[in-house]
Structure 1
Amino acid sequence: MTPQDIASRIVRYGELQPCKTAFIDAHTPGSDQKENFTIIGGGVSESPDQHVHISIPHGFNIGAAGQPPRCRNSLHDHHTAEAFFVLSGRWRFFWGRWGTAGEVVLEEGDIFNIPTGIFRGFENIGTDYGMIMAILGGDDAGGGVMWAPQVIEDAADHGLVLGEDGKLYDTKRQQSLPEGVKPMPLMSDEELAKRPEPTTAEVLPNHVARYWDMVALADKTPCKVIGETGLLKDRPGFEVDFITRGSAREDRHSHDRPSVLMPVRGHWRVDWEGGSATLAPGDTMSVPEDLAHSAVPSMTGEAALYHIVGTEDPAGPSWTGS
């Protein structure tokens, strides 16, 4: 496979195309400056403005959120798994019906595997524009987003209405619900009462992995971060490995399905028969199935890389208290 063939499967950080109207809170003060990116797969955007960089099915989606300081992503849930790692900045994640059940602060390189069934939100609490990368289970990413009722109500006050068809209608653009399409119904009190409210102490041990802990664990061999035998034991429809300079190998290997390489530190050279490419932090590379390849740091200094591959597992169990 030639470098030209692979070029269409590499999304460079500097070439990411943002959508500023992706979700229902796009006009809500405090959330109206965020940018959403759909890198691999259709994503869960509610807007036709969203640009999909790579549409090849992988069994999971890759997306990203970029936000200036103090910009917030509102409380929501997915039908499938959602995991985030911090590419840049400092981020506070919070969860629960009102976002007050628990919270955790993530630094660059940290990863958070969030179970379904829990409303979650996040905000950039750093001093500069920050970026978090998202892995969503399933090719269809669960068919959309479920919003906390107050998010839908606040959005309507600022001109955005979510239809029961899962599409956004913007009254600021003179849009209205089509005939026969009703507004997305709010969750009932009975439905909301069934949702768990885990504390920070309950969530952190089995759902958050810290960058420097993974660096230590990946000194000789790759660290399995998310997977049945992973540091965060889960079967969300994908596996995530963490690789450093010490655990990278020149030997080539392949997978029977597409895999994804996402550097968080350093520059990485990816080699395959017929070509090579160099990836920098923020770049995303989709490696074709059955393509023998290797990935090693191409420069001295700190180097770390996330590797994602889909599995046959259901894409995201609900919170079970572990």
Structure 2
Amino acid sequence: MTPAEMEARIVRYGDLVPCKTAFIDAHTPGSDQKENFTIIGGGVSESPDQHVHIKDTPGFNIGAAGQPPKCRNSLHSHRTAEVFFVLKGRWRFFWGRWGKAGEVTLEEGDIFNIPTGIFRGFENIGTDYGMIMAILGGDDAGGGVLWAPQVIEDAKDHGLVLGENGKLYDSKKGQKLPDGVGPMPLLADDVLARMPEPTTGEVVPRYVARYWDMMALSDRAPAPVIGPDAMLVDKPGFDVDFISHTTPVEEQAMDSHHVLMPMRGHWRLDYDGGSVVLNPGDTCAVPPGLRHSVTPSMSGEASMFRVRSNDDPAGPTWVG
């Protein structure tokens, strides 16, 4: 692989293109300052304005959310896995029909494999602009977002309507639903009644891994974070490993797609054809069969997440 070909497979943090109108709550006060990023794959954005950095998917999607302090993402659900790790800031995640079933606070480097099939939301509770990186199961990320009914109702008061085709229409811009396209129907009461309401005690021990625990477990080999025999035993359609500056990672060629996502420090990626440095917030898609190795490019703390494709289905993840 040539250096130019490899660079085309890297999305730099500083090159990320945000979309501020990605979802139905884009005009709703309290959520109207959030930014959505689609890094690998189309993700679940509802806006034609969304920029997609790398369109080809390796069996999962990679995205990100950036928000200033006190900005929140409204309650929604997915049909496939949704995994977040905190790149910058301090975040509160909450879940349930009204967002009151449970909650957890995540610090930088913590990872949360949010159970599929429950409403979830999150907000930046730090003092600066924050960023969380996301992994979504499946090539098409489950076909979209399921919103809590009150989110759709609130959005109408601020000019946004979601069509049954999954696209947003902004009445403030003179847009309206096309002929033959109705509004997205609200979830029926019987569907809402079947959605689980797990408590904090049920969710956190099984679905949250803390940064310093992963650092401790990665001293001799990559620490399995999500997957069979991992810290968070699950089959969301991909595996997640954690690599730190003390992890010996030998040169290898994997038979699956995988994505490198540095958390802290600078990493040198040596591959058959060249060498490149990856920085925190960068995303690098390594193709199957490419011989490569990763090592910290300088002394000090360094860590990264490695996401690998597998043959598992893309969800669900919640087992009550």
TM range (shorter): over 0.9
Q: Does 1:299 align with 2:294?
A: no
- Distance in structure 2 (CA, Å) of the matches to 1:316 and 1:275: 36
Q: Which residue of 2 aligns with 1:173?
A: 173
TM-score, scaled relative to structure 1: 0.98
Matches within 5 A, 1:128-147: 128-147=128-147
Tell me if the contact between 1:115 and 1:316 (Cα under 8 Å) persists in the aligned partners: no
- Distance in structure 2 (CA, Å) of the matches to 1:143 and 1:57: 14
- Distance in structure 2 (CA, Å) of the matches to 1:260 and 1:318: 21
Structure 2 SS opposite 1:306: strand
Corresponding letter in the other structure for 1:175: Q
- Distance in structure 2 (CA, Å) of the matches to 1:2 and 1:185: 49
Greater shift, 10-19 or 255-264, is seen at: 255-264
Q: Which residue of 2 aligns with 1:275?
A: 274
Greater shift, 309-318 or 194-203, is seen at: 309-318
Structure 1 SS opposite 2:253: coil
Corresponding letter in the other structure for 1:257: S
1:39-85 CA distance string (max 9 Å, x none)? 00111000000000011121000000000000000000111000000
Query: Alpha-carbon deviation of 1:225?
Result: 0.1
Q: CA-atom RMSD, angstroms?
A: 0.7
TM-score, scaled relative to structure 2: 0.99
Q: Which residue of 2 aligns with 1:254?
A: 253
Corresponding letter in the other structure for 1:27: H
Unaligned runs of 5+ in 2: none
Tell me if the contact between 2:234 and 2:317 (Cα under 8 Å) persists in the aligned partners: no
Query: Alpha-carbon deviation of 1:248?
Result: 3.4
Q: Does 1:309 align with 2:300?
A: no
- Distance in structure 2 (CA, Å) of the matches to 1:311 and 1:318: 15
1:133-179 CA distance string (max 9 Å, x none)? 00000000000000000000001110000000000001011000000
Query: Alpha-carbon deviation of 1:273?
Result: 1.6
Any runs of at least 4 consecutive aligned residues in structure 1 with deviations exceeding 4 A, and if so which? none
Corresponding letter in the other structure for 1:163: G
- Distance in structure 2 (CA, Å) of the matches to 1:171 and 1:107: 38
Corresponding letter in the other structure for 1:154: D
Structure 1 SS opposite 2:184: coil
Matches within 5 A, 1:222-237: 222-237=222-237
Query: Alpha-carbon deviation of 1:220?
Result: 1.1
Greater shift, 183-192 or 84-93, is seen at: 183-192
Q: How many residues align?
A: 320
Corresponding letter in the other structure for 1:28: T
Q: Report % sequence identity.
A: 72
Q: Which residue of 2 aligns with 1:5?
A: 5
Query: Alpha-carbon deviation of 1:318?
Result: 4.5
Structure 2 SS opposite 1:206: helix
Tell me if the contact between 1:248 and 1:295 (Cα under 8 Å) persists in the aligned partners: no
Q: Which residue of 2 aligns with 1:76?
A: 76
1:260-319 CA distance string (max 9 Å, x none)? 000001000000121011011000101111101101100110000100011111101142
Query: Alpha-carbon deviation of 1:229?
Result: 1.1
Q: Does 1:95 align with 2:95?
A: yes
